[in-house]
Structure 1
Amino acid sequence: MLPCYVLLDLETTGGNPVHDRITEIAAVRIEGGQEVARWSTLVNPGTAISSFIQNLTGISNAMVADAPGFEEVAPRLLEILKGAVLVAHNVRFDHGFLLNEYSRLEQALRVKTLCTVRLSRLLYPQHKSHGLDAIMQRHDLKTSARHRAMGDVEMVLAWLGIAAQELGAEQVKQHAQTLLQGSAALPPLLETPVDQIPESAGVYLFFGEGPLPLYIGKSIKLRSRVMSHFQAASREPREMRIAQEVRRIEWVETAGELGALLLEARLVKDKQPVYNRQLRRERTLCAWQLDANPLARPLLTLVRSDDLQPSQFGRMYGVYRSKNQAISSLRELADKHALCLHALGLESGKGRCFAHQIGRCKGVCCGEEKPELHYLRLQLALAEQKLQVWPHAGKVGLREHNPQTGRTDLHIFDQWCHLATVQDEAELEDALTSNSSLAFDLDTYRLLLKHLLTQQKKGLELRVFDRP
């Protein structure tokens, strides 16, 4: 398959590589198609193994009581891995545990990786499932040591042999090389192992040498989105500059798309990354506020961002990103609907407005049209741009759940403003009782407006809270 690789499997106390520990390691080294080394060992995790994990793996606390700790077996593992590609089924899992274990020893593990789950998808695209149990069933493979490290290594080795027989060794080799080339797209100075990034929803941050991020993005598949940046570096100048500067990557997982969008918008505005063009803080936002009196002059007043109060949205229209954009939009409406420039405040002076002189105003400025009728036509012309009044009596929450990760986030809103994202009752109580001032954000308004209308389709659950 590859000139030199080590097929490895770990058993652990759980699924979190930061908090859980390794209980067993098995590795088989292949060089030039021949097995040259085979090694396995139990590992004392330094913590208790739960009954669930004991039943799953068959590895008990008593079995590892006298086993060596990871620090004792770490040199032997490095020796086996030297110069080889680390191959594993769901390699991110195994690689993540090894990275954390070596990090605890203040050592760096630098090794190329290849995932046989991804390899199976390439070799057998007609099949939906590519977990080890599915592969064993598909190819009639059997073992009495499932969920033991060497037993699982032997199953993957057997499967690779079957794949070479069914599809040809050259095809297996080509697909394996394709996966490795995907890793080769990584920036040469990147310190963060991309395989550690989860394939779940969230926000990612690219950092260079300084403390401020170069770029912030979001995705429902973090690792794939990060890799797409690097794979596009040869085609897009901005992606090339990011790839040249990036040194490390941080990420924050969320329950789903809405949480990722909200977090991305907040972080971009707070940190102002140099390569983010959108979602930056808008200090020049403005909207038109319509006077309640049809006789008022002007009928519209431009309201700046600091004075945008959601409670007044029933008479506001926009929002615009600059004063020039607001005026330009209003002039277009006036021309299209024969509205009076004097009444709108777009033209000063007395008597007939210029639009009436050229036949584009119906004459409210000179008594030829009733102010009430002009006012009604203005409301109809602005209708598509009307800001929506908050449809609830108080605060609401949108519950977002990810069945794959089990994570649940509750996003709290009031008057179109995002107050908080909480995960427990204590945080919820703080969010509901907080008296902090609300700051209107155009991106959040548009995002929430869309998700409130499509909440059921997007799998969101609306929770309405009583007014305090």
Structure 2
Amino acid sequence: MNPAFVPEALVFVDLETSGANFANDRIIEVGLVEVDSEGAREWSVLVNPEAPVSSFITGLTGIDDAMLSSAPTFAQLAPSLLERLRGRLLIAHNARFDYGFLRCEFKRLGIEFRAPTLCTVKLSRKLFPQHHRHNLDTLVTRHGLAVAGSRHRALADARLLWDLWRCWHEQLPVETIRSVVANLVGRPELPAQIDPALIDDLPEAAGAYAFYGEDGRLLLLRRASNLRQQVLAHFTAAKRETPLLRDLRRVDWREAAGELGARLREIELSRCAAESGPQAGLREPGGSNAGAAARGLCSWQLQARQNGHLRPELVFAEDLDFAIADDLFGIYPSHREATRSLRKLADAQRLCYKLLGLDDSSKPGACAAYRQKSCRGVCIGKETVALHCARVLTALAKFKVKPWPYKGPLLLLERDEFGMREEFHLVDRWRLVATLHNEEALQARLADGPTGQAFDPDTYRVIGRFLQAGKIGLRPLPPFSL
């Protein structure tokens, strides 16, 4: 064994599974190559998933129900598997897949499994950036490796990763590989007050995260396409002495399947922070403030007056469900902000203060805006009421609050790029009722009836944008049965 190949204890891992979804599918085979100063040792085992395997998986792997019926369950294998994995760098192709499945299987048994991981897809991309494809079959061909056994069987694929590792060490300087590996494994030095388990706990998944200081004070709130990568980037040596890290006491996060889920998790974290503690001034520009928005939430509603003009009247979310009300324009956190925005719009479009309710209509003569030459004079007969109403409608059109367009709730289907995480966002009247992971959980939640949550403008805007973009799966559902 060349010591340069093995700077620390390694384990090359491949799993075969009943599908690609962490929540619903199970491991059906484990293959390991354990490598350390004493040499390389192989271990493989079939795993009874306690559920039928699909014909597709059987066709891909050659593993069928008959082969698995007498195999041990994961619970029976867990102690010996933990012993083989403990204290080693876990190396896998698309490591997020294998590590995610292992963590889920152990979690079902009440075991928190953590291990440093290295993805050979990412390693190949860094070592050979001139190539565009880095799937395992391509790497086998590119580097002239021999397949010992059947592809898509766990031990055969784990052997290929060990062969690939040795091949790369023969082709490239050891220092180059070690530098890239250190960067990819990403184990920065955390502040003394932060639990070092954070490094292993952070998932390579989309989501949102928050940094908290003393007394639960929110220091930072962001969403991320890769939580692990983005959170650990805050702990580089260059940032170690920043006020943010000096004040940091806790990191929290919420995983998601994709961008919609990440945005919704950001709102969730913001609401939790607003309800549980004081806010700090370091929040990112444009960050969500859903928790504070509910109190005093208001909108302008156009109402017809006797003289034929349409006048905006302020209505409040505590009195009216903004999700189903007609003729609402703009959503504002307070009466003051709503009035300021309407006045700004009136000045920009040369609308009449009196007809908009921004000036005392009982006083004779021109409105204050006309005297400032920012009204076309409907208040003194220089413009018709009908024309002014048409201009008001045009000016307000882009601020219109869209009523909920479905008869019942809607399911938004989101999957991550690898198909390993699937989320069902159950939405009703622009409210996020729940985020679920399988059909059984969905039906159980539907049976509980509609949500009693208040209308939230941030959730309304996020979901509205995704519906308008048309890039997410939709499943309209029948109305809740009361």
Q: TM-score, normalised by structure 2?
A: 0.72
Of the three residues 173, 178, 184, the one matched with 1:173 is: 178
Q: Following the alignment from structure 1 to structure 2, what is the Cα–Cα distance between the partners of residues 334 and 389?
A: 25
Q: Matches of residues 214-229 of structure 1 in structure 2 within 5 Å? A: 217-229=222-234
Report the equivalent of 2:140. Answer: 136
Which amino acid in the other structure matches residue 7 of structure 2? C
Find 1:460's aligned residue among 473, 476, 480. 473
Kindly report which structure 2 residues correspond to 1:83-94, keeping only aligned pairs within 5 A, or say none.
85=89, 87-91=91-95
Q: 2:304 aligns with which of 292, 296, 300?
A: 292
Cα pair distance change 1:235/1:193, threshold 3 Å? closer
Q: Work out the CA distance in 2 between the residues paired with 1:396 and 1:44.
A: 40
Give the deviation of 1:122 after TM superposition: 0.7
Within the candidate set 288, 304, 308, 1:278 is matched to 288
CA distance in 1, matches of 2:433, 2:71: 50
Question: How many Å separate the matches in 1 of 2:406 and 2:101?
Answer: 47
Q: Which runs of 5+ in 1 are unaligned?
A: 31-35
Q: Structure 2 matches for 1:312-327, cutoff 5 A?
A: 313-327=325-339
Report matched runs for 1:2-401 at 5 Å.
4-10=7-13, 14=17, 20=27, 25-30=32-37, 36-41=38-43, 55=62, 71=79, 81=87, 85=89, 87-91=91-95, 112-145=116-149, 152=157, 154-180=159-185, 182-184=186-188, 189-192=194-197, 194=199, 197-204=202-209, 217-231=222-236, 234=239, 237=242, 240=245, 244-246=248-250, 249=252, 251-254=254-257, 256-272=258-274, 274=279, 277-281=287-291, 282=293, 283-293=295-305, 295=307, 299-310=311-322, 313-348=325-360, 350-352=363-365, 353-401=367-415
Structure 1 residue 162: deviation in Å?
2.7
Q: 1:142: Cα distance to partner?
A: 1.0
Residue 175 to residue 210, structure 1, CA distance change in 2 (3 Å): same
With over 3 angstroms needed to count, the CA separation of the structure-2 counterparts of 1:445 and 1:199, relative to structure 1, is same
1:292/1:210 CA distance change after superposition, 3 Å: same
1:413-435: per-residue Cα shift (whole Å, max 9, x none)?
44434444454277358548835
Are residues 50 and 29 of structure 1, via their aligned partners in 2, closer, same or farther at CA, if it must alter by over 3 Å? farther
User: Distance between the aligned counterparts of 2:128 and 2:97, measured in 1?
Assistant: 22
**Closer, same or farther: CA 161–356 of 1 in aligned 2, 3 Å:** closer
Q: Using a 3 Å threshold, how does the CA distance of structure 1 residues 209 and 106 change in structure 2: closer, same or farther?
A: farther
Letter in 1 for 2:399: Q
Give 1 or 2 for the bigger CA radius of gyration.
1
How far apart, CA to CA, are the structure 1 residues paired with 2:175 and 2:255?
Answer: 40
What TM-score results when the alignment is normalised by the length of structure 1?
Answer: 0.74
Amino acid at match of 1:307: D
Check whether the contact 1:287–1:317 (CA below 8 A) recurs between aligned residues: yes
Aligned-partner Cα distance in 2 for 1:271–1:258: 20
Q: Percent of pairs identical after alignment?
A: 31
Assess, with a 3 A threshold, how the Cα gap between structure 1 residues 271 and 2 changes in structure 2: closer, same or farther. Answer: farther
> Using the alignment, how far apart are the partners of 2:215 and 2:28 within structure 1?
32
Alignment length, in residue pairs? 451
What's the CA shift for 1:119? 1.6
Q: CA deviation at 1:92?
A: 5.1
Query: Are residues 21 and 391 of structure 1, via their aligned partners in 2, closer, same or farther at CA, if it must alter by over 3 Å?
Result: closer
CA distance in 1, matches of 2:181, 2:153: 25
Structure 1 Cα separation of the partners of residues 78 and 141 of structure 2: 33
Instruction: Give the residue type in structure 1 aligned to 2:40.
Output: R
SS at 1:378 equivalent: helix
Residues 1:433 and 1:153: Cα distance change in structure 2 (over 3 Å): closer
Q: Aligned with 1:387: secondary structure?
A: coil
Question: Aligned residue for 1:442?
Answer: 457
Q: Give 1:117's aligned amino acid.
A: V
Aligned CA-pair RMSD? 4.8
